[in-house]
Amino acid sequence: MQGDGPMEEADYRAECDAEAEAEGEAMAGMAAEAEHEATELNKVNLASWQIRQSELTMFKENLRTKKDEILEKFEEDNGALMKRIEELSCELDSDKEQFKLQAIQLFEKTKEKKLIGGIGIREGTELVYNSLEALKWAIDHNLALTLDRKRFEQLAKTESIDFVKKETKITVTFPKEIKFTTEKLEE
Protein backbone atom coordinates (compact mmCIF):
# COMPACT_ATOMS: atom_id res chain seq x y z
CA MET A 1 0.00 0.00 0.00
CA GLN A 2 1.33 3.38 -0.93
CA GLY A 3 -0.71 5.54 1.43
CA ASP A 4 -1.41 5.10 5.05
CA GLY A 5 -4.88 6.59 5.07
CA PRO A 6 -8.07 4.65 5.74
CA MET A 7 -9.43 5.40 2.31
CA GLU A 8 -6.56 3.81 0.53
CA GLU A 9 -6.85 0.64 2.59
CA ALA A 10 -10.57 0.43 1.88
CA ASP A 11 -9.90 0.95 -1.82
CA TYR A 12 -7.28 -1.79 -1.70
CA ARG A 13 -9.69 -4.20 0.00
CA ALA A 14 -12.43 -3.39 -2.47
CA GLU A 15 -9.98 -3.95 -5.32
CA CYS A 16 -8.90 -7.31 -3.82
CA ASP A 17 -12.52 -8.33 -3.30
CA ALA A 18 -13.33 -7.36 -6.88
CA GLU A 19 -10.35 -9.36 -8.18
CA ALA A 20 -11.35 -12.35 -6.06
CA GLU A 21 -14.91 -12.10 -7.29
CA ALA A 22 -13.76 -11.83 -10.90
CA GLU A 23 -11.41 -14.75 -10.38
CA GLY A 24 -14.27 -16.78 -8.81
CA GLU A 25 -16.56 -15.95 -11.71
CA ALA A 26 -13.83 -16.90 -14.15
CA MET A 27 -13.29 -20.19 -12.29
CA ALA A 28 -17.03 -20.89 -12.25
CA GLY A 29 -17.18 -20.16 -15.98
CA MET A 30 -14.24 -22.48 -16.64
CA ALA A 31 -15.83 -25.20 -14.51
CA ALA A 32 -19.13 -24.86 -16.37
CA GLU A 33 -17.28 -24.96 -19.70
CA ALA A 34 -15.29 -28.03 -18.59
CA GLU A 35 -18.47 -29.74 -17.45
CA HIS A 36 -20.12 -28.92 -20.77
CA GLU A 37 -17.07 -30.26 -22.65
CA ALA A 38 -17.06 -33.40 -20.48
CA THR A 39 -20.75 -33.93 -21.19
CA GLU A 40 -20.13 -33.46 -24.89
CA LEU A 41 -17.13 -35.80 -24.66
CA ASN A 42 -19.25 -38.41 -22.92
CA LYS A 43 -21.89 -38.06 -25.61
CA VAL A 44 -19.22 -38.59 -28.25
CA ASN A 45 -17.78 -41.57 -26.36
CA LEU A 46 -21.24 -43.04 -25.84
CA ALA A 47 -22.15 -42.61 -29.51
CA SER A 48 -18.85 -44.19 -30.55
CA TRP A 49 -19.39 -47.05 -28.13
CA GLN A 50 -22.91 -47.65 -29.44
CA ILE A 51 -21.64 -47.74 -33.02
CA ARG A 52 -18.93 -50.28 -32.09
CA GLN A 53 -21.47 -52.33 -30.17
CA SER A 54 -23.79 -52.40 -33.21
CA GLU A 55 -20.88 -53.41 -35.43
CA LEU A 56 -19.92 -56.20 -33.03
CA THR A 57 -23.49 -57.52 -32.93
CA MET A 58 -23.68 -57.40 -36.74
CA PHE A 59 -20.31 -59.16 -37.17
CA LYS A 60 -21.26 -61.88 -34.68
CA GLU A 61 -24.56 -62.46 -36.48
CA ASN A 62 -22.79 -62.63 -39.86
CA LEU A 63 -20.26 -65.10 -38.47
CA ARG A 64 -23.02 -67.22 -36.92
CA THR A 65 -24.89 -67.25 -40.25
CA LYS A 66 -21.74 -68.26 -42.16
CA LYS A 67 -20.98 -70.98 -39.62
CA ASP A 68 -24.53 -72.35 -39.93
CA GLU A 69 -24.26 -72.31 -43.75
CA ILE A 70 -20.90 -74.10 -43.67
CA LEU A 71 -22.17 -76.68 -41.16
CA GLU A 72 -25.30 -77.27 -43.23
CA LYS A 73 -23.20 -77.75 -46.38
CA PHE A 74 -20.78 -80.03 -44.49
CA GLU A 75 -23.68 -82.17 -43.28
CA GLU A 76 -25.16 -82.31 -46.80
CA ASP A 77 -21.79 -83.28 -48.32
CA ASN A 78 -20.95 -85.81 -45.61
CA GLY A 79 -24.39 -87.05 -44.55
CA ALA A 80 -23.89 -90.60 -45.83
CA LEU A 81 -20.49 -90.86 -44.15
CA MET A 82 -21.87 -89.49 -40.87
CA LYS A 83 -24.78 -91.95 -41.00
CA ARG A 84 -22.40 -94.85 -41.63
CA ILE A 85 -20.19 -93.76 -38.71
CA GLU A 86 -23.24 -93.73 -36.43
CA GLU A 87 -24.36 -97.15 -37.69
CA LEU A 88 -20.91 -98.67 -37.19
CA SER A 89 -20.65 -97.18 -33.70
CA CYS A 90 -23.98 -98.74 -32.73
CA GLU A 91 -22.96 -102.09 -34.25
CA LEU A 92 -19.62 -102.04 -32.42
CA ASP A 93 -21.31 -101.18 -29.11
CA SER A 94 -23.71 -104.07 -29.61
CA ASP A 95 -20.84 -106.41 -30.55
CA LYS A 96 -18.87 -105.30 -27.50
CA GLU A 97 -21.78 -106.19 -25.21
CA GLN A 98 -21.99 -109.64 -26.85
CA PHE A 99 -18.22 -110.09 -26.44
CA LYS A 100 -18.55 -109.21 -22.75
CA LEU A 101 -21.23 -111.86 -22.24
CA GLN A 102 -19.20 -114.47 -24.12
CA ALA A 103 -16.00 -113.54 -22.26
CA ILE A 104 -17.73 -113.91 -18.90
CA GLN A 105 -19.18 -117.28 -19.90
CA LEU A 106 -15.77 -118.45 -21.11
CA PHE A 107 -14.09 -117.23 -17.92
CA GLU A 108 -16.66 -119.00 -15.74
CA LYS A 109 -15.89 -122.25 -17.59
CA THR A 110 -12.10 -122.00 -17.90
CA LYS A 111 -11.06 -119.38 -15.28
CA GLU A 112 -8.73 -118.02 -18.00
CA LYS A 113 -8.33 -114.26 -17.63
CA LYS A 114 -6.33 -113.52 -20.78
CA LEU A 115 -8.50 -114.04 -23.80
CA ILE A 116 -8.02 -113.70 -27.52
CA GLY A 117 -7.18 -110.30 -29.03
CA GLY A 118 -6.00 -108.78 -25.76
CA ILE A 119 -9.43 -108.97 -24.16
CA GLY A 120 -9.06 -109.62 -20.45
CA ILE A 121 -11.00 -110.45 -17.34
CA ARG A 122 -10.61 -108.57 -14.09
CA GLU A 123 -12.25 -109.70 -10.85
CA GLY A 124 -13.20 -107.26 -8.15
CA THR A 125 -15.35 -107.25 -5.06
CA GLU A 126 -18.74 -105.63 -5.18
CA LEU A 127 -20.48 -105.00 -1.87
CA VAL A 128 -24.21 -105.43 -1.59
CA TYR A 129 -25.79 -103.97 1.55
CA ASN A 130 -28.67 -101.94 2.91
CA SER A 131 -27.65 -98.27 3.33
CA LEU A 132 -29.73 -97.82 6.49
CA GLU A 133 -28.13 -100.84 8.14
CA ALA A 134 -24.72 -99.57 7.09
CA LEU A 135 -25.45 -96.15 8.61
CA LYS A 136 -26.59 -97.78 11.88
CA TRP A 137 -23.41 -99.86 11.91
CA ALA A 138 -21.27 -96.77 11.22
CA ILE A 139 -22.93 -94.86 14.08
CA ASP A 140 -22.55 -97.87 16.45
CA HIS A 141 -18.85 -98.04 15.56
CA ASN A 142 -18.33 -94.27 15.97
CA LEU A 143 -17.46 -93.80 12.30
CA ALA A 144 -19.85 -90.98 11.51
CA LEU A 145 -23.17 -89.29 11.93
CA THR A 146 -23.77 -89.89 8.24
CA LEU A 147 -22.54 -92.85 6.25
CA ASP A 148 -19.16 -92.29 4.63
CA ARG A 149 -19.66 -94.84 1.86
CA LYS A 150 -16.04 -94.84 0.74
CA ARG A 151 -14.69 -95.47 4.26
CA PHE A 152 -17.42 -97.98 5.05
CA GLU A 153 -16.74 -99.95 1.88
CA GLN A 154 -12.99 -99.98 2.60
CA LEU A 155 -13.71 -101.49 6.01
CA ALA A 156 -16.36 -103.86 4.68
CA LYS A 157 -13.88 -105.32 2.17
CA THR A 158 -11.42 -106.24 4.92
CA GLU A 159 -13.74 -106.94 7.86
CA SER A 160 -16.65 -109.30 8.25
CA ILE A 161 -19.87 -107.36 8.69
CA ASP A 162 -22.91 -109.59 9.04
CA PHE A 163 -25.32 -107.69 6.78
CA VAL A 164 -22.78 -107.10 3.98
CA LYS A 165 -22.69 -109.65 1.20
CA LYS A 166 -19.50 -109.77 -0.88
CA GLU A 167 -20.05 -110.71 -4.50
CA THR A 168 -17.43 -111.21 -7.17
CA LYS A 169 -17.74 -108.65 -9.89
CA ILE A 170 -16.29 -109.62 -13.25
CA THR A 171 -15.21 -106.86 -15.59
CA VAL A 172 -14.19 -107.46 -19.18
CA THR A 173 -11.36 -105.22 -20.32
CA PHE A 174 -10.62 -104.27 -23.90
CA PRO A 175 -7.33 -103.00 -25.31
CA LYS A 176 -7.35 -99.82 -27.41
CA GLU A 177 -6.79 -101.98 -30.45
CA ILE A 178 -7.68 -105.66 -30.60
CA LYS A 179 -4.82 -107.66 -32.04
CA PHE A 180 -6.19 -110.67 -33.78
CA THR A 181 -4.46 -113.50 -35.58
CA THR A 182 -6.02 -116.68 -36.90
CA GLU A 183 -3.25 -118.76 -35.24
CA LYS A 184 -4.87 -118.48 -31.81
CA LEU A 185 -8.20 -119.63 -33.19
CA GLU A 186 -6.69 -122.85 -34.58
CA GLU A 187 -5.05 -123.81 -31.26
**Degrees to nearest 5, angle at CA 8 with 5 and 11:** 150
Flag whether 79 is in a domain. no
Q: What single letter denotes the amino acid at residue 121?
A: I
Quote the pTM value.
0.43
Flag whether 61 is in a domain. no
Flag whether 18 is in a domain. no
Domain residue limits at 169 = 112-186
Flag whether 67 is in a domain. no
Q: How far apart are CA 112 and CA 106, in angstroms?
A: 8
84's enclosing H/E stretch is helix 6-110
Q: Looking at the 3D structure of the chain, how many domains does it have?
A: 1
pLDDT tens for the 187 residues of the chain, in order: 455 555 577 677 777 777 777 777 777 777 667 666 666 667 667 777 788 888 999 999 999 999 999 999 999 999 999 999 999 999 999 999 999 999 999 999 999 999 888 889 999 888 898 988 888 888 888 776 677 888 888 888 888 888 888 888 888 887 777 776 665 444 4
Q: How far apart are CA 159 and CA 129, in angstroms?
A: 14
